[in-house]
Amino acid sequence: MKAPSSVSEALSSIKTGSYTTKDLVSFYLHRIEENKDLNAFREVFEKTALEAAERVDEKIRSGTQGKLAGLVIGLKDNICYKNHQVSASSKILDGFISIYNATVVDRLINEDAIIIGRLNCDEFAMGSSNENSAFGAVKNPLDKNRVPGGSSGGSVAAVAADLCLATLGSDTGGSIRQPASFTGTVGLKPTYGRISRYGLIAYASSFDQIGPITKNIPDAALLMEVLSGMDEYDSTLSSKPVPSYSKELQSAGRKNIAVIKECIENDGLNPAIRNYIRSLIDELKKEGHTINEVSFPYLEYMVPTYYVLTTAEASSNLGRFDGVHYGYRSKAAYDLDSTYRKSRTEGFGKEVKRRIMLGTFVLSEGYYDAYYAKAQRVRRLIRNRTNEILKDNDFILLPSTPDVAFEFGKNSSDPVKMYLEDIFTVQANLAGNPAISLPLGKAENDLPFGIQLIARDFEESPLLAFSNHLMNTKTLIKTES
């Protein structure tokens, strides 16, 4: 049996009798077992997935199946699924069983998607390599000596290795798009307020967004259609109507596309990626699109601003993990103070503790105005400039990552170097705009890299349509440095 390339292919094969949904789930379960050395899955939901497959097969036979029938999907290990474990890949939540479904899980199940397991990630979604998981690093299926990216490393590895057809990740500063770039998959971060965050274990609440990781644009569009929209449990959601994304994938007309010169000229950008973008720009011009080179003077301030604000929010959000309410409690604790101190010291990993301490510092008396308040003002400048560019342009085109996937251990000893992996992705989170990483290029070592597009708020429909055009017309090109 061969892994389907899309939801429509899977459903068509099931309807014509090539295989059943249960056969498809069994195929993926076998693939997961064969590739368990990737460490992509924290847990496989074999029993419930096979039971769900039987129900979906019956619905398909009766013609009452939902939009996502035939979709076998995995969840990042920070999305709650009732009566299943969720840990954010942290020791402090190891063994915790969710008592409710995230809104996105309800919407998947209601449309007959089958959830096959939970996927490894950087602890509490804090990382750019998936080396920070308390349960071991995920390997990149394209080169097992290299990282898959983070924090949604298990999610992208599962799609790239055909362990399921699609996955959900979360993106706080690039945690969907950066690993998608490293593994040759499609990664979409929606507009802030487009998809409910209810049931997502929070890292930084004003940045976090759930989004799909897929092999193609039509599947991403279909998932967006199902997952988006109002939710009574999330007051930050927009009331804007949800378009029929999957039916609006034809990109019509010539586009105005902005290219940020500071990104293309950045010294840290792999020359192969720079060369590819320049050749892509030439092709787009030949198609009749207008390319506008623009300046973005805040590039060097984006990563510091992002880390000041997200660590501040993390120090607040992670205060609930205290060894008292639920989760890990130190066996060495002997009173209330030692319960808090020892449980958090033993339960959190090094990177999480680093970010909690940094966040607590920037919120502390005497430093709040100097760091947190100033970072909020810079965030507003970044959003204003981003929207100013998009006022006259349909999209901003830029790299997803400075380089291809790096080898394990290369950056892990230098937190600043690791943080700079997010230099091209944090803009969309700081500004709130939708952004997508498309697997369009390959470097001379055959490793993929993504090209990123940023669009106006809530304009996922034209973003997906133009992305579909690029995916269908721009052959994967190997570029030399």
Run of H or E including 109: helix 103-110
235 classed as catalytic: no
**Interior angle at CA 326, CA 324 and CA 332, nearest 5:** 50
Q: At what angle do helices 299-317 and 374-392 cross, to 10 degrees?
A: 130
φ, ψ of residue 382 in degrees (nearest 5): -65, -45
- In whole angstroms, give the CA distance from residue 74 to residue 69: 14
Token look-up 């052959």 returns 475
The string of DSSP letters for 167-206 reads: EEEEESSSTTHHHHHHHT-EEEEPPTTSB--TTBPPS-TT
The string of DSSP letters for 236-285 reads: T---PPPP-GGG-----S--EEEEEHHHHT-TTS-HHHHHHHHHHHHHHH
| CB contact burial 415-453 (16+ within 10 A = b; e otherwise) | eeebbebbbbbbbbbbbbbbbbbbbbbbbeeebbbbbbb
151 classed as catalytic: yes
Catalytic residue among 22, 76, 139, 189: 76
Catalytic residue among 129, 152, 155, 175: 175
Run of H or E including 211: strand 209-214
Torsion of Cα atoms, 117 then 118 then 120 then 121, to 10°: 150
φ, ψ of residue 209 in degrees (nearest 5): -145, 135
Say if strands 435-442 and 477-478 run parallel, antiparallel, or are unpaired.
parallel
Both tokens of 150, joined, read: 């983070």
Query: In this structure, is the dihedral angle defined by the CA atoms of residues 191, 192, 194 and 196, taken in order, positive or negative?
Result: positive
φ, ψ of residue 127 in degrees (nearest 5): 160, 165
- In whole angstroms, give the CA distance from residue 192 to residue 177: 15
Closest of 448, 451, 441, 6 to residue 214, by C-alpha: 6
Catalytic residue among 151, 170, 251, 467: 151
Which residues face 442 on adjacent strands? 448, 478
Both tokens of 173, joined, read: 């500063």
Residue 250 neighbours by CB distance under 10 Å:
8
175 classed as catalytic: yes
How many residues does this entry show for the chain? Answer: 481
CB-CB contact of 371 with 301 (8 Å): no
* Residues with catalytic function: 76, 151, 175
